[in-house]
Chain A
Amino acid sequence: MTQNPYFFIVIFVGVAVVFPLMPLALAWLWRHFFQPPKPGAQKNATYECGVESMGEAHVQFQSQYYLYCIIFLIFDVEAVFLVPFAVAFTGLPVGAFIAILIFLLLLIEGLVWAWSKGCLSWAREKNVE
């Protein structure tokens, strides 16, 4: 018997369709003959922890924490530079000392700027509605 080599794929596809459809059909038959569906407002509710959901799901959160993250990151990196600076402090030439002071000044200026912008106060007044 000469068969098309793709015949097995047809069989596989048939099994793949019948296999999931059979339990679905059985479940449908079971529901039809034995167990009546009993939907309800609470049964179909989306939230399921026992507490009623309230408000909209599309709420916006304040994303001001990212400012803390950025400031923390900058000063964390600063600490990485400061440690070798402190270790090699006694042997440093004047130029290197001034360079690191400028580096520190820039960062302190950034901190002052962030502070004056109100980034360090949690839940700023203008965002509270």
Chain B
Amino acid sequence: MSESIDEGLKNELQKQGIWVTSTQELYNWGRRNSIWPLQFGLACCAIEMIATAASRYDLARFGGEVFRPSPRQADLMIVAGTVTKKMAPQIVRLYNQMPDPKYVISMGACAISGGPFKQGYNVLKGIDRYIPVDVYIPGCPPRPEALLHAFMELQRKIDGQKLTGENKAEHLNRAQPSEFPVPAFGAHDLEPPANPEVFRPPQIERV
């Protein structure tokens, strides 16, 4: 849709005081500047998340200040901290209860892979085994600047999402599921240990 407007013509019109846009740009502009995160912290990364939201780093500059205590009103889930196997079903359930479009930032080494507690018997080896993650932030814990960077990356991603056509955003696709199966707390491990629909482990290639 945005391709139909010539960039040069658009600039020329803007100089004359006429602002031309498309539905897609307007839609993405509104969405990316009002990302409401879920108020939800798991471990020490949550402290950095709090610092990011507070006045010094001020996530509000990017439109993310309204931390929602209810998943019904949230657009973004920041998985901030170690995900224990006992907590994983609750996280997936919260994710399921968020309305579309929804995004996930996996914050810190623990949420990405289990981090320093990876060998622990009760630590999930990455939240991306159960829910699709949009942005990963390395660090233990990541500094607030890193979370801001991830937030801006997410805004960039939202900005690039198409409203129509073949490559339209996933949440606009009728076939794309909005809920993912919640793992059950089994005798030894979570069952299933990963959601094959979401989790594609990197293949090791030996050359």
Q: B-contacting residues of A (Cβ < 8 Å)?
A: 34-36, 38, 40-43, 45, 48-52
B43 to chain A, nearest CB (A): 16
Which residues on B sit within 8 Å (CB–CB) of A50? 71, 90-91, 93-94, 97
Bitwise interface map of B from 170 to 201 toward A, beta carbon under 8 Å scored 1, else 0: 01111001110010000000000000000000
**Is chain A's binding surface mostly helix, strand, loop or mixed?**
loop
B134 to chain A, nearest CB (A): 18
- Cβ contact of B97, chosen from A34, A36, A38, A42, cutoff 8 A: A42
- Residues B172 and A36 in contact, CB atoms below 8 Å apart: yes
- Judge whether B96 is part of the interface by a CB distance below 8 angstroms: yes
Which residues on A sit within 8 Å (CB–CB) of B178? 38, 40, 43
Instruction: Give the nearest-CB partner of A42 in chain B.
Output: B96
Taken together as a complex, chains A and B put the C-alpha atoms of A25 and B164 apart, in Å, by 21
The 4 closest A-B pairs by CB, nearest first: A50-B90, A38-B178, A40-B179, A42-B96
- Residues A34 and B172 in contact, CB atoms below 8 Å apart: yes
- Residues A45 and B97 in contact, CB atoms below 8 Å apart: yes
A51 to chain B, nearest CB (A): 6
- Residues B163 and A34 in contact, CB atoms below 8 Å apart: yes
- Judge whether B159 is part of the interface by a CB distance below 8 angstroms: no
A48 touching B72 in the complex, CB below 8 Å, given contacts A34-B172, A38-B178, A43-B99: yes
A-B contact list, 30 entries, CB within 8 Å: A34-B163, A34-B164, A34-B172, A35-B100, A36-B172, A36-B173, A36-B174, A38-B100, A38-B178, A38-B179, A40-B178, A41-B179, A42-B93, A42-B96, A43-B96, A43-B97, A43-B99, A43-B178, A43-B179, A45-B97, A48-B70, A48-B71, A48-B94, A48-B97, A49-B94, A50-B71, A50-B93, A50-B94, A51-B90, A52-B93
**Residue tally, chain B, CB below 8 Å to A:** 21
Which residues on B sit within 8 Å (CB–CB) of A35? 100, 171-172
Which residues on A sit within 8 Å (CB–CB) of B173? 36
Which residues on A sit within 8 Å (CB–CB) of B99? 43
B179 to chain A, nearest CB (A): 4
Taken together as a complex, chains A and B put the C-alpha atoms of A41 and B181 apart, in Å, by 11
Which residues on B sit within 8 Å (CB–CB) of A36? 172-174
Interface residues of B in 93-148 (CB under 8 A from A): 93-94, 96-97, 99-100
Give the residue among B99, B163, B178 with the most A Cβ atoms within 10 A. B178
Known: A35-B172, A43-B99. 10 other contacts (CB 8 A): A36-B174, A38-B100, A40-B178, A41-B179, A42-B96, A42-B179, A42-B182, A43-B96, A43-B97, A45-B97
- Residues A40 and B172 in contact, CB atoms below 8 Å apart: no
